């Protein structure tokens, strides 16, 4: 038996994301006042995704508890829809986007932090909040994958959804540059147009690979293929 019930873990993770989001939005940073606000940063979008996902997880747990021993067909049908939404979000958004944010951020940060997280931000964002946005996402999503089996969509549908998200965000970043003349991430300022295209293509490929990694890991943990 688990030392801490998975329902309690999900509720605790949800509360932590709510705290991170509230503290982040309370920071008076110049970047928050420019075109796109916080929504131009993938880190913030990922935090919202994770908070919504774990909110759905907690709602699913509560619904499952309330419908236990209940023979209502309608309630059972609604619960199945909620579970399907939870599993879809885990497969398409929570895992690939969350892992992508953590791995890409720290890889670039170690190489040259000024390309992704300038030292100036240390004056606005405390270290614990930085780790809350860029580190704990990975263990949280792995805990969820380990404690709950998620039914992945068909591979073609899943990859199509991931590609849609990736391309949508890339177009959003390009639109912000078109409107303001400034790239969201300093890294893009140093790339030529041709290299930018290669970079965006590589980003799309990586996030698709992470989707496949999540599917394989989920199958391995729960042995669904056997």
Question: Domains of the chain: which residue ranges?
Answer: 6-224
Res 33: pLDDT: 85
1 confidence band (pLDDT: 50, 70, 90):
very low
The band of 197, judged by pLDDT with boundaries at 50, 70 and 90, is very high
pTM, full prediction: 0.92
DSSP states of 146-211 as a string?
HHS------HHHHHHHHHHHHHHHHHHHHHHHHHHS--SSHHHHTS-HHHHHHHHHHHHHHHHHHH
Which residues touch 94 (CB under 8 Å, ≥6 apart)? 49, 50, 53, 141, 144
pLDDT (mean) for 158-168: 97
Q: Which helix (H) or strand (E) holds 28?
A: none
Pick the range with the lowest mean pLDDT from 43-52, 94-103, 108-117, 217-226: 217-226
Read off the pLDDT of residues 108-137 as tens digits, 9 standing for 90 and up. Answer: 999 999 888 889 888 889 999 999 999 999
Residue 115: per-residue pLDDT: 87
Residue 126 phi, psi dihedral angles, 5° rounding = -65, 160
DSSP 93: I
pLDDT confidence tier of residue 43, bands split at 50, 70 and 90: very high
């Amino acid at each position: 038996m688990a030392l801490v019930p998975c329902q309690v873990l999900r509720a605790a993770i949800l509360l932590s994301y709510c705290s991170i989001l509230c503290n982040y939005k309370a920071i008076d940073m110049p970047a928050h006042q420019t075109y796109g606000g916080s929504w131009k940063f993938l880190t913030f979008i990922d935090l919202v995704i994770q908070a919504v996902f774990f909110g759905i997880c907690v709602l699913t747990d509560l619904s499952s508890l309330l419908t236990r021993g209940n023979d209502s067909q309608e309630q059972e049908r609604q619960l199945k829809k909620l579970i399907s939404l939870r599993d879809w979000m885990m497969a398409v958004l929570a895992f690939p986007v969350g892992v992508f944010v953590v791995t890409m951020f720290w890889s670039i940060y170690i190489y040259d932090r000024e390309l992704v997280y300038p030292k100036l931000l240390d004056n606005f964002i405390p270290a614990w909040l930085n780790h809350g946005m860029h580190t704990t996402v990975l263990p949280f999503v792995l805990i969820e994958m380990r404690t709950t089996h998620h039914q992945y969509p068909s591979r073609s549908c899943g990859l199509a959804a991931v590609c849609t998200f990736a391309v949508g965000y890339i177009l959003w970043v390009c639109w912000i540059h078109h409107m303001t003349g400034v790239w969201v991430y300093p890294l893009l300022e140093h790339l030529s147009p041709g290299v930018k295209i290669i970079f965006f293509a590589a980003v799309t490929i990586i996030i698709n690979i992470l989707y496949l990694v999540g599917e394989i890991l989920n199958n391995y943990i729960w042995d669904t293929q056997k």
